[in-house]
Amino acid sequence: MIKLGIFGNPVEHSKSPLMQNSALKSLGIDGYYDKYLLLDGSQIKKEFLNLGLEGANITVPHKEDAFKNADEIRGIAQKIGAVNTYVKENNKVIAYNTDGLGFIKAIEEFGDIKNALILGAGGTARAIAVALKDANIEVTIINRSRKGRLEFFEELGCKCYTIEELSSSVTQSLSTSVPLIINTTSAGLKDDYLPIPKELLVTLMKNAQFAFDCIYGKITPFLALAKEMDLRYKDGKDMLLFQGVLALELFIKQPIPPTTIEEMDRCLK
């Protein structure tokens, strides 16, 4: 029996167990996927091994700690500096990041995007920024503070601002040149907050076309504002689906057929 799971804080809201357990059943694999509340991210590798897991997903706020604690980092995760997937291989913890590619798949329906604005500078923002840059999309980052976070994005070639650094001219320029605004913060997950002040967000959304919130399963204040301003919007359901498909392929070391992906998708509706 294969034992899988997800670590996070909070994690009680996660639909990953429902999605992944349906996939295991569809594939006829003897296994179970559970969720684990983890308070101290520095203990993630120890907990992963103590629980006897073969694979795990990692959600906020532990993606960077998971990167630091892994025995080996593979693929795009090496550039991101944050991981969302652990796989046990020969008693070693191998780490990957499927968030970025999952995001790119989720926004395919938006068409040909040339510029994107990311709100937040955590592990999910890193994954999305790297994936967007790899797709030749220009990226701007807005974060509430620097605190050692924006250097990564500046080295990646992104334009970076704190809220305090945004002059009216810069804000106006962004509002006319960025069609896609992405919220990667936890604002709206357990509260009614916006990721940045409302007046600033309204200005940025005035000429935008699309809004994407990595939070899934609810209309967050960010998406509610996007709807009010007639933007086409999506929550993070499809990103969750596609990153989950990629992670499951790493767990079971085989491709996931379309019929199973459809089963996974139905669990998220």
Please report the domains of the chain, with CATH numbers, ordered by start residue.
2-97+238-267 (3.40.50.10860), 101-235 (3.40.50.720)
Which one-letter DSSP state was computed for residue 108? G
Check pLDDT > 80 for residue 148.
no
This prediction has a pTM of 0.90
Q: In what order do the strands lie in the sheet with 92-96?
A: 31-37, 2-8, 55-58, 85-89, 92-96, 72-73
Percentage above 90 pLDDT, the chain: 87
The pairing of beta strand 210-213 with beta strand 180-183: parallel
Residues with a known catalytic role: 63
Q: Given this model, what pLDDT does residue 131 score? A: 96
Amino acid code (one letter) for 25 = K
CB contact at 8 A, 31 and 4:
yes
Helices 99-106, 123-134: crossing angle, 10 deg rounding:
60
pLDDT in tens, 218-258: 999 999 999 999 999 999 999 999 999 999 999 999 999 99
Whether residue 61 is preceded by a cis peptide bond, meaning omega within 30 degrees of 0, is yes
Per-residue pLDDT tens for 178-192? 999 999 999 998 899
C-beta of residue 80 within 8 angstroms of C-beta of residue 127: yes
Residue 138 to residue 157: CA distance in whole angstroms: 8
First to last CA, the chain: 28
72-76, 169-173, 195-199: which has the minimum mean pLDDT?
A: 169-173
